[in-house]
Amino acid sequence: MTQQEQTKQYIRCAAIDWQNKSVNASGGYSVIEGRNRAVLDVVGRTKNANRFLDVGCGTGQLVIAVARRGLEAEGIDFAAEMVVQCEANAMAAGVSARFMGGSFFETEFGEHAYDVISSQGFIEYLSPAETDKFFHRSANMLRPGGAIVAGSRNRLFNALSLNDFTRLEAEMGVLWTLIAEAMALQSSPTTEAAFLALRRYEHIDPQHDRHPVTGIPVEARYQYSPADLVYRLRHCGLTAQTLFPIHFHGLPSTVKAEHPDFHSEIALAAAEIGFRDHRLVPFSSSLVIESRREER
C-alpha cells in the first residue's frame, strides 16, 4: 500500500477520533489548539482579511473559529466523513461556513481569491514534490499581502529527541546540518535575525521513505526544518515572517512517558511565554510558519 493510500485509509477512519481530540480537550496541551491559535493570530494581523481557506480542514473547528470573526471561511478535505462532521459542527456552532470534499489539487480555485490559506497537519501526508506544488498553487491563490500559514512536523527536533528519529538522521548524514540550523535559531535575538541566519542553511534535505511508528498507521509522514520550508516558500514568491513553536518538549522522551502530566504543564507554560519565540522551535516537535505574498 502506498503512502497516499495509507493516508486516505487513515483519514477516512479517523473522523470520530479527530472530533474528540478537537472538542473534548482534557485541559492538557493540545497540538490542534496550538496550531489553530497560530493561524488565528495571523488572521488577526492580516489587513482587511475577508476570505479564508483551510486545506485538510479535518472536522472544521478552525474554519468555524475564523467564521466567528466575520470572515468568509471555507475548508476542504478529501475525506467525505470529515466533511459531514464539519457541516454538523458548523450547524451546532450556529455559524455559516463552506466545506468542500475532494482533492485540493483537483478543485478549481480562483487566482488572488484568498487573504489567508491554512494547512495544518497536511503537508506531512504529501510527497515533497506535492508540497512544492501545494505552495506554488496556494501562492497564486493569495491576494497581495495575503498569508499562507503552514503547520509541519519539525525535522529539527529529530536532532534533540535522542531516539530512533535521531538515528535516522545520523544514518542519512544530515544530523550535524540540523544541529547547526538549530544553533542558528537558538542564538538569533530577533525573528528578523533568525530568518537572516537561516539563509545559510536553505536547502532541501533528502527525505526518509519510512519513519518510526508514532501511533498513526502511515509509514511516511514527512518532516521539514524551518530553513527547508523557507527555501521552498521563497521559490514560490513568498516571504517567511513568523515561526510558531508547537508542542515544546521540556523533558527527555523517556521521562515524558513516565510523567505525561508534568510534560503537558511545561508545554502549556512554554506556549504562553514563547508563542512566537523562534528560539523554542528546535525543542518543539511541530512548528507553524507564516509567509506572505508581497503587497503591491
According to CATH, the superfamily of the domain at 3-293 is Vaccinia Virus protein VP39 (3.40.50.150)
Report the alpha-carbon distance of residue 88 to residue 36 in Å, rounded: 19
| Bridge partners, 291 (sequence order) | 148, 240
Q: Spell out the domain ranges in the chain.
A: 3-293
| Identity of the residue numbered 178 | L
Report the alpha-carbon distance of residue 52 to residue 40 in Å, rounded: 11
Residue 70: CB atoms within 10 A of its CB come to: 9
What is the model's pLDDT at position 212? 72
Dihedral of CA 276/77/233/144: which sign? negative
Has this prediction a pTM greater than 0.75? Answer: yes
Average confidence (pLDDT) per 10 residues, the chain, 296 residues: 54 54 68 96 97 96 97 94 93 96 94 96 92 97 97 96 94 94 96 96 80 66 94 96 98 94 97 97 98 87
Exposure of 99 in the CB half-sphere (CA atoms within 13 A): 27
User: What angle in degrees, to the nearest 10, is found between the helix axes of 15-23 and 3-13?
Assistant: 60
Q: pLDDT tens digits, residue range 117-170?
A: 999 989 998 999 999 999 999 999 999 999 999 999 999 999 999 999 999 999
| Bridge partners, 240 (sequence order) | 291
Q: List Cβ neighbours of 216 (8 Å cut-off, separation of 6 or more).
A: 10
What is the model's pLDDT at position 16? 53
What is the model's pLDDT at position 286? 97
What is the model's pLDDT at position 210? 73
What is the model's pLDDT at position 21? 57
What is the model's pLDDT at position 232? 96
Closest alpha carbon to 226 in 195, 247, 248: 195
Query: CA-based diameter of the chain, in Å?
Result: 53
What is the model's pLDDT at position 208? 79
Report the alpha-carbon distance of residue 244 to residue 232 in Å, rounded: 18
What is the model's pLDDT at position 19? 56
